[in-house]
């Protein structure tokens, strides 16, 4: 519900969560929990449990829940992209741009397009 409230205010679209940070967090938290429980170091319990439990809700808030809401809006016939300013670029013949004056290459590409 918190994700729904934040996204309804910010109108943010889904983003890819920083996986290089999110994925190792529970393992680091478990390692710190083990070190804390064995008495080698005294670490704050809040930090340990934050590392253990934060990646799941963060992934859901950043990536999964907004995608689900977009899919539900599309299914209901609502266009979630209508407020976005999208400019359409007319597609030109890319073969001429790629060939850059090379007539041999252009003739081969045109022959392949004709087939």
pLDDT in tens, 60-111: 888 888 888 888 888 999 888 777 766 666 655 566 676 677 788 778 878 8
Please check whether residues 80 and 93 belong to one and the same domain. no
Please check whether residues 50 and 75 belong to one and the same domain. yes
Structural domain of residue 13, as residue ranges? 2-84
Please check whether residues 27 and 77 belong to one and the same domain. yes
Please check whether residues 101 and 58 belong to one and the same domain. no
User: What's the rounded Cα separation, in Å, for the pair 6 and 10?
Assistant: 6
The model scores a pTM over 0.75: no
pLDDT score at 52: 92
Please check whether residues 75 and 115 belong to one and the same domain. no
């Amino acid at each position: 519900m918190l994700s729904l409230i934040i996204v309804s205010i910010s109108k943010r679209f889904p983003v890819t969560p920083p996986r290089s940070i999110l994925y190792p967090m529970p393992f680091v938290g478990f390692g710190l929990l083990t070190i804390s429980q064995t008495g080698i170091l005294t670490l704050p319990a809040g930090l340990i449990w934050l590392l253990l439990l934060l990646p799941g809700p963060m992934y859901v808030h950043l990536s999964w829940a907004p995608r689900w809401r977009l899919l539900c809006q599309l299914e209901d016939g609502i266009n979630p992209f209508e407020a976005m300013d999208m400019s359409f670029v007319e597609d030109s013949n890319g073969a001429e741009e790629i060939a850059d004056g090379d007539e041999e290459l252009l003739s081969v590409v045109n022959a392949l397009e004709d087939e």
